[in-house]
């Protein structure tokens, strides 16, 4: 969902990612953990990524490597994980249909040094977009298989999840090992009132009690709030901020 993907964007490193910039430039896939866009061979069925080991690190200090992504994709494909992403979007990876799970490897996903090679059963024009989703995020190789999810996980992005209480709160902290280009100005981001009512959330935003509240605004209030706080709103004009 929207909020989950925002958190995952802040905590994830992927082979390819969308840059944190506005406009059309933010819609173009660019290399992140990979050193460049993949080499595509075998009539569009083989993708070879180069992943410099240690270019990114988890908040634990563990380096992100080609094997990190092999593990992440194989975890998605594990029958015990019951991942919708693995079942639906990685089904064209060679060996996916017969894969029994870790510690075995999928025949179509191999690692040779800093090279990660993914072989497909047929050309897939959407493959690069798929591996740029949070489902293909780098995760530590020790991450357990659990179809209901895990309670905590290290992050290799600008932030990591320091604590989480279901339905109540979430704390992100700056990853001390992150030296990538994405913004990471804050030391900590606190999510509170995870099940906040829309009307209450809007009121707290207007009163300055919250900095950000996704999906808090009821549709019936959108026009009025835009008149007051939008680009041409009265509050914006009075402060001189655009």
Q: What is the pLDDT of residues 95-148, one digit of tens each?
A: 999 999 888 999 999 999 999 999 999 999 999 999 999 999 999 988 988 888
pTM for this predicted structure: 0.86
Quote the tokens at residue 81.
């994980």
Confidence category of residue 9, pLDDT binned at 50, 70, 90 = very high
Neighbours of 240 (CB within 10 A): 6
Query: Hey, what are 218's tokens?
Result: 């009821």
Distance CA 76, CA 102 (A): 10
Cα–Cα nearest to 107, from 66, 64, 70, 141: 70
Q: Is the peptide bond before 179 cis (omega within 30 degrees of 0)?
A: no
- Strands (DSSP E) contained in 34-175 are 39-41, 46-50, 109-112, 115-119, 159-165, 169-174
pLDDT digits (tens, 9 = 90+) for 183-231: 899 999 998 877 778 888 888 888 888 888 877 777 788 888 888 888 8
Predicted confidence band at 238 (pLDDT cuts at 50, 70, 90)? very low
């Amino acid at each position: 969902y929207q909020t989950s993907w925002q958190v995952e964007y802040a905590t994830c490193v992927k082979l390819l990612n969308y840059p944190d910039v506005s406009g059309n430039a933010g819609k173009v896939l660019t290399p992140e953990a990979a050193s460049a866009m993949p080499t595509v061979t075998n009539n569009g069925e083989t993708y070879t990524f180069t992943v410099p080991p240690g270019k990114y690190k988890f908040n634990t200090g563990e380096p992100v490597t080609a094997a990190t992504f092999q593990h992440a994709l194989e975890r998605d494909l594990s029958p015990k994980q019951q991942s919708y992403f693995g079942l639906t979007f990685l089904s064209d990876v060679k060996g996916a249909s017969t894969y029994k799970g870790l510690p075995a490897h999928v025949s179509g996903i191999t690692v040779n040094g800093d090279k990660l090679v993914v072989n497909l059963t047929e050309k897939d024009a959407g493959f690069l977009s798929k591996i740029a989703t949070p489902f293909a995020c780098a995760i530590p190789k020790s991450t357990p298989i659990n179809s209901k999810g895990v309670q905590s996980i290290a992050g290799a992005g600008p932030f990591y999840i320091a604590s989480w209480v279901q339905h109540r709160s979430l704390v992100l902290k700056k990853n001390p090992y992150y030296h990538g280009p994405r913004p990471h100005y804050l030391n900590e981001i606190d999510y509170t009132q995870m099940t906040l009512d829309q009307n209450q959330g809007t009121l707290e935003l207007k009163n300055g009690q919250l900095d950000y509240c996704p999906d808090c605004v009821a549709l019936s209030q959108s026009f009025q709030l835009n008149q007051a706080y939008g680009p041409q709103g009265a509050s914006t004009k009075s402060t001189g901020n655009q």
